[in-house]
Amino acid sequence: MLDVSGTGLPRVVHWGADLGAVAPARLSGLRAADVPQTVPNALDEPVPVSVLPQQSAGWPGTPGLSGHRAGRTAAPAFTVRVGSVENESRRLTVEAVDPDGGLALTLEVGLTDAGLVRMRAAVTNTGDGPYHLNGLTPALPLPAQATELLDLTGRHLRERAPQQHAFTLGTHLREGRRGRTGSDATLLLTAGEAGFGFRSGEVWGLHVAWSGNHRTLAERTPAGQAVLAGGELLLPGELRLAPGATYHSPWLHGSYGRHGLDELAGRFHRELRARDGHPDSPRPVTLNTWEAVYFDQDLATLERLARAAAEVGAERFVLDDGWFRGRRDDHAGLGDWYVDPAVWPDGLRPLIDTVRGLGMQFGLWVEPEMINPDSDLARAHPDWILADSPSRLPPASRHQQVLDLARPEAYAAIRERLDTLLRAHPIDYLKWDHNRDLVDAAAHHQTTATYRLMDELRVLHPQLEIESCASGGARVDLGVLERTDRVWTSDCIDALERQHIQRWTGLLLPPELLGAHVGAPVAHTTGRRHTLDFRAGTALFCHFGIEWDLTAASAAERARLAEWVALYRALRPLLHSGTVVRGDHPDPALWVHGVVAGDAGRAVFALVQMATSVQSPAGRVRLPGLEPDADYRLSPLAPGDRPKGPVTSPLPWWERGVTLPGRVLAEVGVQAPTLFPERLVLLEAVRQ
pLDDT of residue 647: 66
pLDDT in tens, 115-142: 999 999 999 999 999 999 999 999 999 9
pLDDT of residue 139: 98
User: What pLDDT band is residue 656 in, cutting at 50, 70 and 90?
Assistant: very high
CATH number of the domain at 580-687, out of 2.40.50.1020, 3.90.1150.10, 2.60.40.1180, 2.60.40.10? 2.60.40.1180
The whole-number average pLDDT for the span 303-316 is 98
DSSP conformation class of 318 = E
CB atoms inside a 10 Å sphere around CB 454: 21
Instruction: Tell which residue, 205, 203, 170, has the closest CA to residue 186.
Output: 205
pLDDT of residue 500: 98
CB-side exposure of 562: number of CA atoms within 13 Å? 14
Rounded to whole angstroms, how far apart are CA atoms 674 and 655?
15
| Cβ-proximal residues to 281 (8 Å cutoff; 6+ apart), any chain | none
pLDDT in tens, 508-558: 999 999 999 999 999 999 999 999 999 999 999 999 999 999 999 999 999
Lowest mean pLDDT among 58-67, 69-78, 165-174, 295-304: 69-78
Q: Is residue 588 classed as helix, strand or coil in its secondary structure?
A: coil
Instruction: Tell which residue, 218, 221, 214, has the closest CA to residue 229.
Output: 218
From the number of C-beta atoms within 10 Å of its C-beta (0-12, 13-18, 19+), residue 278 rates as middle
pLDDT of residue 496: 98
Judge whether residue 599 has pLDDT over 70: yes
Q: Helical H runs in 76-151?
A: none
The whole-number average pLDDT for the span 490-503 is 98
pLDDT of residue 391: 87
Backbone φ and ψ of 28, nearest 5°: -65, -35
Largest CA distance in the chain: 82
**CATH for 2-14+49-274?**
2.70.98.60
Q: Interhelix angle for 299-312 vs 555-575, to 10°?
A: 60
What homologous superfamily is domain 286-573 in, according to CATH?
Answer: Aldolase class I (3.20.20.70)
pLDDT of residue 649: 76
Please answer whether residues 272 and 278 qualify as being in contact, where contact means their C-beta atoms are separated by less than 8 angstroms. Answer: yes
Lowest mean pLDDT among 24-38, 244-258, 651-665: 24-38
Judge whether residue 646 has pLDDT over 80: no
User: What pLDDT band is residue 648 in, cutting at 50, 70 and 90?
Assistant: low
Model pTM score = 0.98
The whole-number average pLDDT for the span 155-177 is 98
The whole-number average pLDDT for the span 378-399 is 94
Which amino acid is located at 634 in the chain?
A: L
Between the two ends of the chain, the Cα-to-Cα distance in Å is 41
| Cβ-proximal residues to 441 (8 Å cutoff; 6+ apart), any chain | 179, 386, 387, 388, 394, 402
Active-site positions? Answer: 433, 491
Q: Interhelix angle for 532-540 vs 555-575, to 10°?
A: 20
pLDDT in tens, 431-467: 999 999 998 888 999 999 999 999 999 999 999 999 9
Backbone φ and ψ of 631, nearest 5°: -85, 140
| Percent of the chain surpassing pLDDT 90 | 91
CB atoms inside a 10 Å sphere around CB 290: 19
pLDDT of residue 442: 86
Q: What is the mean pLDDT of the chain?
A: 96
Sequence spans of domains, the chain: 2-14+49-274, 286-573, 580-687
Which span out of 61-75, 288-302, 643-657 was modeled with the highest average pLDDT?
288-302
Judge whether residue 347 has pLDDT over 70: yes
Rounded to whole angstroms, how far apart are CA atoms 311 and 306?
9
Rounded to whole angstroms, how far apart are CA atoms 530 and 446?
41
Give DSSP secondary structure letters for 398-439. TTBEEB-TTSHHHHHHHHHHHHHHHHHS---EEEE---S--T
Rounded to whole angstroms, how far apart are CA atoms 11 and 5?
9
